[in-house]
Structure 1
Amino acid sequence: MKTNTTLGVLFFALTITATITSCGSGEKKEETNADTLATTTEIPADQPAGSTESFKDFDWSTVPQSNAEIGAFPFLTAPSGFIITDKGRSNESKTGYSEMKDFNKLIMFTGASFYNAEGKVAKLVFKMKEREGDWNQYSFDSSVDKYMQSIDAKLLGKLKVTQAQKEFLNKEDDMSIYNHIVGDPYNDPVRMYALNHSKGKIMFQVYSNSASGEVGVVELAAFEQTIKAPTAVQMKKDIDANGKAILNINFDIDKSTLQPEGQKVLDEILSLMKGNADLKIAIEGHTDNAGSGDHNKKLSTDRANTILKFLTSNGISASRLTAAGFGAERPLVANDSEANMAKNRRVELVKE
């Protein structure tokens, strides 16, 4: 009996000791896990951290300045065995790029958010030289990435577009990703680089898959507004000399509602009509070639009617006015650059 009692007390003591030890071990394990997580939650460059559906300014102080030799725009050439194709994607380009626009943008992914990099933009499409065999993705990637390292360009991140990012970037224009990110970022990642060079700030998009390679280049520059608000006096001079006045009126993007600067132009048109009681005009709206023909025709018509309604509501007889829209049917110049597209987005006051 005494032996059993002694064994029972010993067993109880061992149980209590094991329980205390177990509790202490659990607390220590939780602390260790917390420390481990704190040091491993940094997101790799090719893995977006949570929600990245935002645009933010880019902090160039995070990119060391480079003085490497980079040559002239677009700052890189085709690797050995490759060519940069022309816009038709067949012959070798004679300009060093496949497409170029004096002012446009690339949508850059910084690893945590997006950034609109505006300026001079070029797109380079690569293919193998004849007799060089099938596309060599490994050689292309190695050549381009090592070149980026050699000029001290910083890899910001790799973007393979998620559904949330697609909806965010294309929410106002379903062609935004297509127009401003090279390659096919829905299926293969696009590498994003920043170069803080003594010549200026430059950004690159690099894309490749098993069949092709593309690079986007933007030399950052602020937009320079070259359009000036016309006056009633100048409109009258243009109509007398040419039979019409060509106006660039600021409407809201893809709408027929006016921006404040656009309203100032309409005030000048009103002054023109009030100061020349015998003048009759046709208000003709025109667009660039972005978007479908039917959409552009309706948009240009709606904008012309916005002007007509403004004039009639301010005392100008409707008998002196007509309004029509022609979309992109009558361009002033080829729609081959942002500057030329801006010229084609216009309203003409044609004397009748």
Structure 2
Amino acid sequence: MAACQRDEPADPVAQTPVAVSPAVEEAPAAPVAAAEDIEDGDEGEFDPESIPVSTAPLGDFPYLKLPTGYSMLDRKTKSFDFAEFPFWTDDGYQWVEGKLQTGTFRADKGKQFSELEVVRNIEALVTSIGGVKVGGGKVSGVGDEEEKRVSKLMSMYQGALCYPSIDQFQSFVIRRSDRLVWVHLCVRNNRGGLAIAETTPLEITASLLPAAEMKQQLDDEGKVSVQVNFAVDKAEILPGSEPQIAQIVALLKQDPALELSVNGHTDNTGDAGHNLALSKARARAVVDAIVGQGIDGSRLLSEGFGQARPIADNDTEAGRASNRRVELVKRN
């Protein structure tokens, strides 16, 4: 990860790390506090507002670098402009959305992996920039559904989660005036996992496709992709997609003879069977929303194809976003 220094920009996560001293003189250290030492907000809930704001220089995301002698594995390092990651606090998981970098690391050739050395270095570095430890030990008391949700992400994030109920871990938060920086560290035997997230808001780049443009594409190509956003790993249509649903309804009202198949598609993240079921449920949810606004259900079919019909490269975040889509296909 990238070093935290006053004058030097941070290095990319996959570069060979430099030594991290237990204390960083240039960055004034804020007193370290464990989660139980922070003033509580609502009882039983993690309260980020209780963490002091850090003004220490950070450099560039992802801000932290491993100690000398340890390196991230290039093939297991992933970066996302916008993603979700579960950070464990002593009150439970906090599902953080924003910029994310994850990966697995090991000791360099000829060096013995020391769990204590890694933990103490990262603790010292995070503390020196005003970070606070908010969780540690092993994950316990998690419900079955959330455990399944976390397990699904483990395959996506290439080991950064390690094994929550088995491995020792540390969770930290660095509170800035405009965002939170979350750090997840886990170690076991001869390897470790690291995830760093920054709570940056999602930049909305999708635009509304009016009924007239949908009709033109249907006439020209027989199908059109529309942007319908869903809750993560669910078939729940988010409120921001209601205007697009309204335009589909308008299209069908303007052409009473038009019949459509609503097809759901996903990227290749996670289990293929799960993705297939999810795509079918999402397509059905879109049909239900349209019918709920007065369109005869006999004019609509719903189908899901999961990850089987990509239109872009699944190796990039932009490509995966393109593959997560709803298509309207002309039936007549």
Going by fraction, where is helix more abundant, 1 or 2? 1
Report the equivalent of 1:63: 52
1:179 and 1:161, CA in 2 relative to 1: closer, same or farther beyond 3 A?
A: farther
What SS does structure 2 have at the residue aligned with 1:135?
A: coil
- Decide which of 136, 161, 168 is 1:158's aligned counterpart: 136
**Alignment of 1:175 onto 2:152:** yes
Asked if the contact 2:171/2:185 (under 8 Å) is kept, the reply is yes
**Deviations 1:214-268 (CA, angstroms, capped at 9, x unpaired):** 2211112123333334321121233345442111224565555655555543442
1:260 and 1:210, CA in 2 relative to 1: closer, same or farther beyond 3 A?
A: closer
Deviates more, 1:304-313 or 1:183-192: 304-313
**Deviations 1:173-193 (CA, angstroms, capped at 9, x unpaired):** 653677687222312331111
1:166 and 1:158, CA in 2 relative to 1: closer, same or farther beyond 3 A?
A: farther
**So what's the TM-score if we normalise by structure 2?**
0.71
- Decide which of 188, 195, 200 is 2:167's aligned counterpart: 188
1:298 and 1:149, CA in 2 relative to 1: closer, same or farther beyond 3 A?
A: closer
Report the equivalent of 1:139: 117
Q: Which amino acid aligns with 1:273?
A: L
What SS does structure 2 have at the residue aligned with 1:328?
A: coil
- CA distance in structure 2 between the aligned counterparts of 1:308 and 1:200, rounded to whole angstroms: 38
Report the equivalent of 1:83: 71
- CA distance in structure 2 between the aligned counterparts of 1:205 and 1:292, rounded to whole angstroms: 24
What SS does structure 2 have at the residue aligned with 1:66?
A: coil
**Deviations 1:77-112 (CA, angstroms, capped at 9, x unpaired):** 23211211112x4xxxxxxxx111111233334434
Paired residues in the alignment total 292
1:258 and 1:118, CA in 2 relative to 1: closer, same or farther beyond 3 A?
A: closer
What SS does structure 2 have at the residue aligned with 1:149?
A: helix
- Decide which of 292, 313, 321 is 2:271's aligned counterpart: 292
- Decide which of 327, 340, 344 is 2:306's aligned counterpart: 327
Q: Which amino acid aligns with 1:77?
A: K
Report the equivalent of 1:35: none
Aligned-pair Cα RMSD in Å: 3.7
- CA distance in structure 1 between the aligned counterparts of 2:255 and 2:310, rounded to whole angstroms: 29
**Deviations 1:265-320 (CA, angstroms, capped at 9, x unpaired):** 344223223323565544322122344323333443344455557559956595x6
Q: Which amino acid aligns with 1:239?
A: L
Q: Which amino acid aligns with 1:58?
A: P
Gaps of 5+ in 2: 1-32
Report the equivalent of 2:78: 99
- CA distance in structure 2 between the aligned counterparts of 1:312 and 1:145, rounded to whole angstroms: 53
How far 1:147 sits from its partner (Å)?
A: 2.0
What SS does structure 1 have at the residue aligned with 2:74?
A: coil
- CA distance in structure 2 between the aligned counterparts of 1:79 and 1:249, rounded to whole angstroms: 44
In terms of Rg, which structure is larger? Answer: 1
Q: Which amino acid aligns with 1:75?
A: Y
1:176 and 1:57, CA in 2 relative to 1: closer, same or farther beyond 3 A?
A: farther
Report the equivalent of 2:255: 276
1:99 and 1:173, CA in 2 relative to 1: closer, same or farther beyond 3 A?
A: closer
Gaps of 5+ in 1: 1-42, 90-97
1:273 and 1:216, CA in 2 relative to 1: closer, same or farther beyond 3 A?
A: same
How far 1:126 sits from its partner (Å)?
A: 1.4
- Superposition map of 1:37-48 within 5 A: none
How far 1:346 sits from its partner (Å)?
A: 1.6
Report the equivalent of 1:208: 187
- Identity percentage of aligned residues: 27
How far 1:328 sits from its partner (Å)?
A: 0.9
What SS does structure 1 have at the residue aligned with 2:163?
A: coil
Report the equivalent of 1:217: 196
**Alignment of 1:231 onto 2:219:** no
